Structure formats: structure tokens, C-alpha cells
Chain A
Amino acid sequence: MNSQASLFQYILKIADNQLILGHRLSEQCSKGPFLEEDIACSNIALDLIGAANSLYIYAAAIEGENKTEDDLVFLRSERAFRNVLLVEQPNTDFAYIMCRQFLFDTYDYFFQLALQKSKDETLAAIAAKTIKESTYHLRHSGNWIIRLGDGTAESNTRLKAAFTNLWCYVEELFEQDAAELDLVAQGIAVDTQLIKSQFNSHIAEIMQTAGMEIPTGIFMQSGGKKGVHTEYLGFLLAEMQSVHRSFPGVKW
């Protein structure tokens, strides 16, 4: 892969995570447990999709094939999406949704902090913008982990189940392929191995406050970054892309 092609793939990895998680969270709109929380989830979904939009505009320019951000979002098929498996997991109960957000928010916070120092000026500028939002996203989900873990027996049980079910997707967040390592060497990409200890210590601190234990002995899953997804992504894309594919080029 030449360097423009690897940069393109790298931007897609970042943007696809935000888009897919943003879309998942937007499915919660009007289904929140109470009004303020419904607004919170919709707000966060908007931030994530907005940040992804900035990245897709940049990715389309790097790819240089006269495509737009909409082409990248609505006309790629499942195997071309580079998001991690964690973000495509479906909404079940509120503890599960917040656990998914918390794991991603923690990763994303330290990732965006580091990406601000990228030698790629556009990525660094978008990260400097995104970090302001990632900060309150993490404050929000971290707060919920503590409330649910330290709440009732029911909320504690549900949160424990959520962590047990979602922990298998943690390792993939830090996976790097050869092309990405090459970008790390050039000072463009974030060396995810270097943010792993910050991730672990924040997770440990919040989970301890919440009275939760980090699951052990979990077999780690991966594949999303290579385009091999769980069955849930296909359904998400089918819904997200249906209007654009039914009415090509439609504008409103």
C-alpha cells in the first residue's frame, strides 16, 4: 500500500468508529430512560457523526477519486467498513449501552489526546476539536458506570453482565497492522500501544469506584479493522444506507 492509500484507510478506521457508534446511539433517540438522558444520548450521537463527517471530507480528498463524504458513508459495503466490533454491538439494556459507550469513550479520549500531536495537520486539527467533546462524553458514561455499579442490586447485575459480554472487544481497539505501524513511524498515526496503560488505569479507577471487577479469562475477538464484522453491522448499514441507495443522489 502506498502512503496515501494507508492514510486513507487510517482515516476511515477513525471515522467509521465514530459514525457507527453515533448511528447506534441515535437509534436510542426517543427511547431514553428519561428526557434529559434521551437528549444526552442524541447530543453525543450528533457529536460523533459530526466528527466523522469532518474526517470523511478529509478522507475523500486524500483518496482523490472525486467522491464525497456521502459516498464513503452510504455507498461502501460491510466489508469495506473499518470500525472495531465494539461500536457495532446492538443496543440492549441501558447498562449495556453505557458500558459500550464507556469502553469506547475511554479509548477515544486518550486516542484523540495523542492524535492532536500528529504530524498530519488536518488530523491534528480535527482531533483538537474532537477532544473537547470526547472529554464530556467520557465524563457522562463514566458517571453512569459509577451510578449503575454502585446503584441497586439489579443495576449492578446488569452492568456486570454488560462488562462480561463486551470485554472481549477491548483488545481490538489497540490492534495495529503493518500499514498503521508505518504511519506511526512517520509520526502521523497514534501508537495505540502507548495509550493502553492510560486506558487501563482510567477503566480500573472508575470500575473500582463503581464496585465492579474487571472481567478475566475472556477470549478476545477481533476482525472489524480488517472488515470482518459481527452480523449486527449489516443490519445497521442496511437501515442507514437504504434511503441513499433507493434514491441515488437525492438531496433535501
Chain B
Amino acid sequence: MKTLLTVAAFAAGVSALSTGAQAQDCTTKIGATLPTSVDWGRPIAEVAQFAVDQVNEAGGAAGCQIEMVLRDTQVDPKVGVDAAKALVDLEGVNVLLGAVSSGVSMPILSSVTVPGGVMQMSCCSSSTAFTKLSEEGKTDGLWFRTFATTAVQSAMGAKVAADKGYGSIAILYKNDDWGQDMARLIAADFAAAGIKVTSSVAVNDGQPSYRAEVTKALGGEPEALYLALYPNEGTSAVREWLSLGGTQNMILANSLKSDEFRDNVGLQYLGNALGTDTASPRVASADAFKTTYVEKFGSEPNGPGLANSFDAAMIALLAMEAAGKDASGKDIAASVAKVTDPDGTPVTADVAGFKKASETLAGGGTVKYQGATGDVRFDANGDVSAPAVVWKFTDSGVDEVEYLSLGEVDAFIASLKK
């Protein structure tokens, strides 16, 4: 017993003596619940581990080496919740990365991380249900995500309509979670931009005919049509719309960015159709991520959520560094603002950047993280925004009409909320 105490005292003495970068005799665990059993899920986990490796190379976070304990969710809410429970209760993690699908992240948030006071940062969940939950104050500020919600896309739809000067618009939306979300958001955004929504009509897929829905949408004689549909029912509905004399002024969600839709509707009718989509940022830090990714993995980071997953891990670790040793999940979550401060010292998303961030934070400063998805900044609900593009169909595919940087997108969304 006496020896043990001596050893403990000695260890404490050593760690107290050693300065940040050399403190390697302790390990802090963080958790990750990601769908590693599906083919697109594994790279998302690998790139998160890559971020952890770089932080360890820079001396670890909050004075300790970081070990990421990874558990598979199998894209199944039950499996995901079990995995998260094990990580929080058995491994004692204060930070959880994941999950990918909104349907898995949501039960983890409500039944594991919020009750356990653990910070949860998702790379890829896009549902606006999280925003709503946060607005109701049910996330305790523990929830963050580095993936833009559908709100960006809907705001861009409103921007296109406003730029084109449409006075009234009808909405046709797919009758599923995404479509209903989209329809609700875009109707609010059109209203905020002063555009009258004549009707908002749900379209069920797999119907023999969309005639009734289209007739209903035509009813208010709108100047333009907004489409949140998938190519299959989109083709049917738009052909019906045009044949009944509907306007060719159309605004399309990114789901209709498809050659099948263009060919079957006909390019000659899509001259006035403009689409919206989110885009990857065109900034140096995003290019730098691409270069290091290619060096490490030997391929371009083209899969879904890779840049987002890297940033999620990096920001979580920066927040741990900012919160200091033995910080609780809540403390770490509160420190996220310190590392994504627009007025802070800019740091890059690599070993040197993390070292610089540690020094700045140790000196009481704040940090502006410039990551793979650009300068990440969370709003009060833990949501991020994203750059956007406006596109149109051409003979060979789609052409970009306009690129809006993150700042421009944010400014427009802010102008809608006034």
C-alpha cells in the first residue's frame, strides 16, 4: 500500500513537472459511435482517427494522449444507443463523436449523452429536429454538428426566388421526413423574403398519377414552382405541370440534380430552372485537408462526411484542450466557442495548428479553427452553415451559376431572420 502511494505521488510529481507537450504518461479516452460496418462509414471513422493521431503527435489534448474508442452503430438506433451507453458508462468518456444518421444520433443524444452530461459532436446528421430540440433547451448545449442542415438549402431557394423577382410560388414536396422538413423551412423563408406561397402540396411517391397534386398546385396561378422531389416522381410531376400550362420558372432542390430528370423532362423546358446545393468551401484550409488526406489515404476525400468528420474530431479535441485537465462534458462543450471564435487567432487543422492553439489557449486567448470545411462556426443550437451554389442544367450536365461563400450564406440567412 505504501509503495503504491509512493508510486502515485511520484507519478503526480512527474506530471506536474512536465510541461504540455511532454506529458505523455496519461491517456484520456474519447468515444466514437460510427457505422463502421457499412462501406461509407469506415472512412468516416478512419479520418476521425487521423485527426486524433495528429493531436497526439502535437502532444495530446489537456496534457494527455488521446485514445479514440470506436464502436459500430450498424446504422441501427438500438445498436447505436447500446454502443454509446457502453462508452459513457464503462469507458467513462466525456466526449462522443457520432453518429452519422440523424435517426441514430437522436436517441443517443436524448437517452445517453444529455442524461450523462457528455458532449456529442456529429459529423453528418442533417435533420432540423436537432435544431428544434436545442431551441426547446433539451440538449443542454451538449450537441454540435459539423454538417449543414437543410436550412442552408431552403434559404438558397428563397434567395434564388428573390433574385429572380418572383412574386408568388407553389411548392411540391416529397412526403417524407426530408421533404416535410424542406417544405416547412422553405415556406417560412419565402414568407420572410416577401414571396407569397400559393400552395404547398405533398407528393407521395409510387402513385399512378400526380395529376391531382399538380392541378392543386396550379390553382393559385403561381409565378414559379419550387420542387423538393426526387427524380422519379419529379419527372412525372414536372411533365404534368408543364403539359397543363404551368410556368417554366422552377427552383429545384439538390435531389433533382440528376441526368435522368434532365433527359426525361427535356432540356428545352428547363431553361428557367435553377437548382440549389451546398458546396465544399473554396478556401485554403479545405485544400490543405485534401492534400494531407491524399498523402495519408492515397485517394481524394470524395466520400460523404469525410471533411466533416475530421473537423468534428479536431474541434472536440481543441475544446478538450481549452477546457483543461479533468474537465466535464459540459465544460468541454462550453469551450467549443473558445476554439471556433471568429475573432480568435487563426489556427490550421494539423499538428502545427494544434500546437499553436495550445499556446494561445494557455495564454488566455481564443482560437479561430480553420478546418477541412472552412472556418467552422456554430450557432446557438450547435448548427453550422455551409457555402452554397446555384446551378442550372446544360447539355452535358450541370453548370454553376453562382457560388456563395460561407459568409454570404450566413449573411443571407441572418437577413431572413430579421
A and B together in one complex: no
Task: Enumerate chain A interface residues (CB-CB to B < 8 A).
Answer: none
